[in-house]
Amino acid sequence: MSYKLFQEIKHKIADINYAIAVLNWDQETYIPKNGNSRRAQQISTLAGMAHKLSTSKKLAKVLKKLKQDARLSLTEIKNVKLALKDYKKSKKFTTEFVMKESKAISTAFQAWIAAREADNFELYIPALTEIVNIQREKAEILGYKEHPYNALMDQFEPGATINEIDSLFKDVKEKLTPFTQEIFACEKPDNKFMFQHYEHKKQWDFGMNILAQLGFDFDSGRQDLSEHPFTTSFGVKDVRLTTRVNEENFYDMLWSCIHEGGHGLYEQGLKEEEYGMPCGEAISLGIHESQSRLYENNLGRSKAFWKANYKKLQEIFPENLSNTSFEAYYKGINLVEPSFIRTDADELTYHFHIMIRYEIEKKLIEGSIEVKDLKTIWNDAYKKYLNVDVTSDKEGVLQDVHWAHGGFGYFPTYSLGSFYAAQLFNKAKQDIPNLEAEIEAGNMDSLLAWLREKVHKHGKYFTAKEVCEKATGEALNFKYFLDYAKAKYSEIYGL
Active site residues: 260
The secondary element (H helix, E strand) that includes residue 182 is helix 177-184
Name which of 206, 291, 201 is nearest 254 in CA terms. 206
* Cα gap 252→352, rounded to integer Å: 20
Cβ–Cβ < 8 Å for 418, 171:
no
From the CB of residue 332, how many other CB atoms can be counted at a distance below 10 Å?
17
* Cα gap 55→77, rounded to integer Å: 20
| 199: region left, alpha or beta (phi > 0 left; psi from -120 to 50 alpha) | beta
CA gyration radius for the chain?
22
Name which of 400, 466, 442 is nearest 128 in CA terms. 400
Name which of 344, 366, 316 is nearest 210 in CA terms. 316
Instruction: Give how far Cα 120 sits from Cα of 112, 128, 130, 396, 470, Å.
Output: 10, 13, 18, 11, 47
Chain centroid to CA 179: 26
**Which runs of consecutive H residues, i.e. helices, occur in 187-236?**
200-214
The dihedral built from the CA positions of residue 267, 271, 274 and 277, taken in this order, carries a sign that is negative
Cβ–Cβ < 8 Å for 93, 48:
no
